Copies of this chain bind each other. A is one copy, B any other.
Amino acid sequence: MIRPWKLIHSKKIADHRIFRIFSDLKISPRTGRKHDFFVLHAPDWVNVIPITPDNQIVMVEQYRHGSNTVELEIPGGVMDPHETDPLATGLRELREETGYEGRNAQVIGKIHSNPAILNNTTHTLLVEDCELKHSVSLDQGEDLITRLVSMDDIPDLIAKGQIGHSLVVVAFYHYQLWKQGLSQNTD
């Protein structure tokens, strides 16, 4: 059986706004030897699949600073310190980034954002009957444009690399599971 490693010591070595970096000294349950590992601590993230009454997805085109590319994504963002429910974050980001609002908002999946290096979870939120209600309200450093994309085109856009964000692909996998009645228990 694979067992977790015991933490001996954890030290914050940097704080970079969107993540804090810790150096964790751990002991292997298999060898008894100590190793240190770098772990990024970040608040949870929320991605939203917003569907319009005619089965279009409200997507956003956005420049990404990590990959240095313009990406076709779904709305989403970081849970604010006062937000305890991914639903609140998702609905806020949907409104701020696209001006859309909808109904039947529900969390349909969650995933470790990257369990090798990150400690946080990404939640997938589904919002139905979305309609444009407001003007957008972008964060400093955010540039984005709303695009309506047919749900039927999503697999092809992923196949062609036009949707290229790992966590957006995960959100569409969660949506598939939800459609098949295999939705995660996300309480």
Contact = CB atoms under 8 A, between A and B. Distances in A.
Nearest to A69: B115
Contacts of A117: 18-19, 65-66
Given A2-B61, A16-B38, A180-B155, A115 B165 contact: yes
A182 B159 contact: yes
A130 to B, nearest CB: 21
A137 interface: no
Taken together, the copies of this chain in the complex come to 2
B158 A173 contact: yes
A71 B165 contact: no
A147 to B, nearest CB: 10
A177 to B, nearest CB: 5
Contacts of A28: 141, 143
Contacts of A33: 140
Interface stretch (A49-57, A79-87, A91-99, A106-114): A106-114
Nearest to A60: B2
B143 A156 contact: no
Contacts of A70: 2-4
A41 B122 CA distance: 21
Interface in A10-26: 13-14, 16-19, 21, 24, 26
The 5 closest A-B CB pairs, nearest first, are A67-B115, A64-B115, A159-B182, A37-B65, A16-B38
Given A13-B14, A65-B117, A111-B164, 20 more contacts: A2-B143, A3-B70, A4-B68, A14-B14, A14-B21, A18-B117, A19-B117, A21-B21, A35-B141, A64-B115, A67-B118, A68-B119, A112-B164, A113-B114, A114-B167, A155-B176, A155-B177, A155-B180, A161-B184, A170-B173
